[in-house]
Amino acid sequence: MNIRQGMKHSLLAAAMAVAAGLPLAAFAQTQGVTKSEIVVGTIQDLSGPLTLLGTHFRNATQMRFDEANEKGGIHGRKLRLVTEDSGYDPKRAVLATQKLLQQDKVFAMINNLGSGVAMATMPMVLEKGVLHLFPAAPIPPTYEPLHKLKFAMHTPYSITTPIGAKHLIQANGYKRAGILYQDDDYGYDVLKGLEAALKELNLPLCEKTSYKRGATDFSSQIARLKSAGCDFVVLGTVVRETIGAVAEARKSGWNVPMMVTPAGYTAQIHQLGGKAMEGLYAVNLTPHPYPDDANKQLAAWIADYKRRFNTEPNTWSVLGYVAADMFVTAAQKAGPNLTQESFAGALEQLHRTRDFFGSPDYRFSKTDHLAIRSGRVAQIRNGRWENVTDYLK
C-alpha cells in the first residue's frame, strides 16, 4: 500500500467511525485486548463509607471472571480484572480512571460504584473509546443520551423511588411524605423521584432535608422531619447512613414508616442496626441471597462465594456477578475479533432471563441501553428482608 492509498484507507476508516457514532480511537488497535487476555477495570470503594458494597462488587466480578478463565477464557483469552479504590471520592476516582485508561489500558470499565464517581469519570472513559458498563450508579446519564459505548443495568432512583413510594403511599394511605437525602447526584435523583410520585398522587412534599456525604449525625435532620409532621419518610441514603438515620428516629421515639432506595437494600442494615431496623422498607432489584432460603443452585453459589472470599455474599455480590456474567456472554458472542464495537453490538442483542438468584429480565437493544425499568418492595421482618411485591413498573 502506497502513502496515498494509506491515507485513503485511514480517511475511510475515520468516516466509518463517525457514521457509527464511535470515537476515532475505536478504529485504532483495540485497547485492552491482546492474544492472551482482555483487561477490564473497575473502581470500587474499598476504604470509605461504601466498603460493604464495594468489596462485594469486586469479589463477585472477579468470581465470574475466574469461572470463565477456568473454562479456557473468552475465545482463548483470559479475563484480567484491575481494581482501583476510590474511597467513594470522585476526585480519587478521576485519578484511578486515568491510571486504568492510560497505564493499564483497559478494554472496558465495569460496575464502577457511586453516582458521583460515574459522573466524574464516565466522560473520560467514553472519550478514550472505552466501554462504560453497568455502573452501580442508577442515574439516567449512565444510559442517556444514547451512546454506543455506555450501558446500564440498574433501574434509576428516579424510577425506583416513585415505584416504591407510590405503592406504599397508596397501600397505607400516607398523606405527608418527607425525605432525607444525600447532598449529591444520587440524593438529588431520589428527591426528583419522590417529587414526581407526589405530583402524580396530587400530594404535597411534607419536608425535605439533606446531609453531606460521610455524615454520621442525623439528629437535626430527623428532628426537622418529625416536627413537620411527616407520616412517611423516603431515605436517599446508603448503608451506614440508613442505619444512623433510622436509629436516630427510633431513639427519639418516632416510629414513622421509612423506605430506603436500593442503595440501602442489604443484609448489613439489619445485621448491624439490630431491632431498630425492623419494619424498614426498601426498593430492591435482586433479592438478598439468604442461605437457608436458597434453591439448590443458589445454595451452591453461596457456598462457592464463601469458599473463595471467606465471607457471606449479599445483594451487591449478586448484582456484581450478574453484570460480570453479561460481560462474559457478550464477549463470547462478539467473537474472536473482539473490539469495543463488536462487543457493543453483541450486548445490544442480549436478553438475560430470570435466573436462580431471582433476578429480573435484562434486555438491551440498539435504541435502549438501559436493561430494566422495574423494582420491587421489600421490608425487614423478623431480622431479614422479605419481598412485599413482585417487580413493579
Q: Is the pLDDT of residue 134 over 90?
A: yes
- So what's the pLDDT on residue 13? 44
Residues 6+ apart with CB under 8 A from 344: 131, 148, 149, 151
Residue with cell 466524574: 120
Q: Is the pLDDT of residue 318 over 80?
A: yes
The pTM of this model reads 0.85
- So what's the pLDDT on residue 125? 98
The answer to whether 142 and 119 have CB atoms below 8 angstroms apart is no
- So what's the pLDDT on residue 186? 87
Sign of CA dihedral 168, 170, 171, 174: positive
- So what's the pLDDT on residue 16? 46
Strand partners of residue 39: 80
The class that CATH gives domain 31-154+296-359 is alpha beta
157-284+377-387: CATH superfamily: Response regulator (3.40.50.2300)
Model confidence pLDDT, tens digit, residues 232-272: 999 999 999 999 999 999 999 999 999 999 989 989 899 99
* Mean pLDDT of the 337-342 span: 98
Q: Is the pLDDT of residue 10 over 90?
A: no
- So what's the pLDDT on residue 3? 37
- So what's the pLDDT on residue 175? 98
Model confidence pLDDT, tens digit, residues 144-165: 999 999 999 999 999 999 999 9
- So what's the pLDDT on residue 328? 98
Q: Which residue has the higher pLDDT, 382 or 17?
A: 382
**E strand map for the chain:** 37-44, 78-85, 108-110, 131-133, 150-151, 177-182, 205-211, 232-236, 258-260, 281-284, 351-352, 362-363, 376-381, 384-387
Instruction: Using DSSP, state whether 181 is helix, strand or coil.
Output: strand
Residues 6+ apart with CB under 8 A from 31: 25, 105, 106, 107, 128, 129, 130, 340
Residues 6+ apart with CB under 8 A from 29: none
Q: Is the pLDDT of residue 18 over 70?
A: no
Q: How far apart are CA 324 and CA 204, in angstroms?
A: 41
What per-residue string of b and e applies to 35-55 under the rule 16 or more CB within 10 Å gives b? Answer: eebbbbbbbbbbebbbbbbbb
Q: In whole angstroms, how far apart are CA 161 and each of 181, 184, 260?
A: 12, 16, 9
Alpha helices in 111-231, H assignment, sequence order: 115-127, 157-172, 185-201, 219-227
Q: Quick one: pLDDT band at residue 293, thresholds 50, 70, 90?
A: confident
Smallest CA-to-CA distance from 37 within 7, 82, 93, 4 is with: 82
- So what's the pLDDT on residue 24? 43
- So what's the pLDDT on residue 323? 98
What per-residue string of b and e applies to 359-370 under the rule 16 or more CB within 10 Å gives b? Answer: bbebebeeeebb
Q: Is the pLDDT of residue 120 over 70?
A: yes
In degrees and rounded to multiples of 5, residue 37 shows phi and psi of -155, 165
- So what's the pLDDT on residue 17? 46
Three-state secondary structure readout of 108-129: EEECCECHHHHHHHHHHHHHCC
Model confidence pLDDT, tens digit, residues 35-73: 999 999 999 999 998 898 999 999 999 999 999 999 999
Q: How far apart are CA 61 and CA 327, in angstroms?
A: 10
In degrees and rounded to multiples of 5, residue 72 shows phi and psi of 105, 0
Model confidence pLDDT, tens digit, residues 182-225: 998 889 999 999 999 999 999 999 999 999 988 999 999 999 99
Determine the angle formed by the axes of helices 315-334 and 340-347, rounding to 10 degrees. 110
* Mean pLDDT of the 118-139 span: 96
* Mean pLDDT of the 226-231 span: 98
Q: Is 257 exposed, middle or buried (0-12, 13-18, 19+ CB in 10 A)?
A: middle
- So what's the pLDDT on residue 310? 98
- So what's the pLDDT on residue 29? 74
Model confidence pLDDT, tens digit, residues 75-99: 999 999 999 999 999 999 999 999 9
Q: In whole angstroms, how far apart are CA 253 and each of 176, 223, 243, 248, 321?
A: 18, 11, 15, 9, 40
Domain with CATH 3.40.50.2300 in the chain: 31-154+296-359, 157-284+377-387
